[in-house]
Amino acid sequence: MRHQEAVLLWCAVQVIGSRQTGALPMPEYIDMTGASAHDGKVLDQIRPLE
């Protein structure tokens, strides 16, 4: 009999969308990151330069 090992991966889904009147927001950005990634660091990566 084989020994099987379970692997747990913790992740977070980051979603940014635009508001729509009378409807759910339209997603513009979807990403999966490690659970330890801070939201601010993730947003810094996609924020437009000013």
With cut-offs at 50, 70 and 90, classify the pLDDT of residue 38.
confident
The residues, ordered by sequence, that sit 6+ positions from 29 with a Cβ below 8 Å of its Cβ are 14, 15, 16, 17, 46
Among 4-8, 17-21, 36-40, 41-45, the range of highest mean pLDDT: 17-21
Q: State residue 21's pLDDT score.
A: 93
Q: How confident is the model over 12-40, as a mean pLDDT?
A: 88
The three-state secondary structure class of 25 is: strand
Phi, psi angles (nearest 5°) of residue 22: 75, 15
Residue pair 23/12 in contact by the 8 Å Cβ criterion: no
Amino acid at 44: D
